[in-house]
Structure 1
């Protein structure tokens, strides 16, 4: 995959997260807010774990979610910071760095090896999958989820594509 496409995907991820958090602010506890926050927190924790893998640092997690549930505003800020980090990180990569294989440990202690490109794609795909889960929670609460689509992102951020 090209670095240009990787940058576009991480911009899309950050945009989709903002859109989803905007809608989550309207969700009530009884409509599944805690479950939605737990799911978004899971995405965040996995993003942070893979950030540590990319930096060859310990991640300090023994699970892919935290025991306590953060406040929505706290999580939103943490996700925005992490999304910014990934955008900056991808901007520094070369094609050679993308294919470099990195050894790491999963939260269960098992060893893993992935290229940086594979890790970054995991972060993108994993987040999209679970944002879809949160979209289903919103639908059950009779709230329309944001249209989390790459095509929509491209046309919103580059309206000239509609000309």
Structure 2
């Protein structure tokens, strides 16, 4: 079977949503005090890091692709204080990428994304690279959160891409 670049990007979008959902299920076990505890993560706590992921997915990167206004919030802003609402919003934000990519054709995936950085500077990136950045960014911060979960003594499900592939119908 030939796998197109768009199919690979679509797989990464599914992975982004799948891994986020699994992580959020693991985080449910953690008491609020520990969930908000500073761990030395770039965005402080599990809560702060999840908020950052929501902000970047739904307030910065998705609007750039969808040509919507980008939030003016700082990267460490608390978008959602309520833990359950944060999890729900993050699941919706990560699921939206698959719908977006389904609407692209191979030429669009091979094209460029022109956007304005939060500093006001105009930028152009290859579309595929920009999409992969979104998913890689999520992986980076999910890794930080799993380290915090481990330090607290909690277990979490493996988040590696092959585990998603093995779980998908063949």
Higher helix share: 1
Distance 1:73 1:108 in 2: 31
Distance 1:8 1:101 in 2: 20
Contact 2:80 2:86 in 1 (8 A): no
2:67 aligned with 1:56: yes
100-109 vs 22-31, which deviates more? 100-109
The answer for the alignment partner of 1:42 in structure 2 is: 52
Distance 2:107 2:15 in 1: 24
TM-score by length of structure 2 reads: 0.85
2:118 aligned with 1:120: no
Contact 1:38 1:69 in 2 (8 A): no
Contact 1:102 1:115 in 2 (8 A): yes
Go from structure 1 to structure 2 and tell me whether the alpha carbon gap of 1:45 and 1:68 turns closer, same or farther (over 3 Å shift): closer
The answer for the alignment partner of 1:103 in structure 2 is: 114
How many angstroms does 1:55 deviate by?
A: 1.6
Q: Secondary structure at the match of 1:113?
A: strand
- In structure 1, stretches of 5+ residues that fail to align are none
How many angstroms does 1:77 deviate by?
A: 1.2
- In structure 2, stretches of 5+ residues that fail to align are 38-44
Go from structure 1 to structure 2 and tell me whether the alpha carbon gap of 1:30 and 1:67 turns closer, same or farther (over 3 Å shift): closer
The answer for the alignment partner of 2:33 in structure 1 is: 30
Give the alignment's Cα RMSD to 1 decimal: 1.8
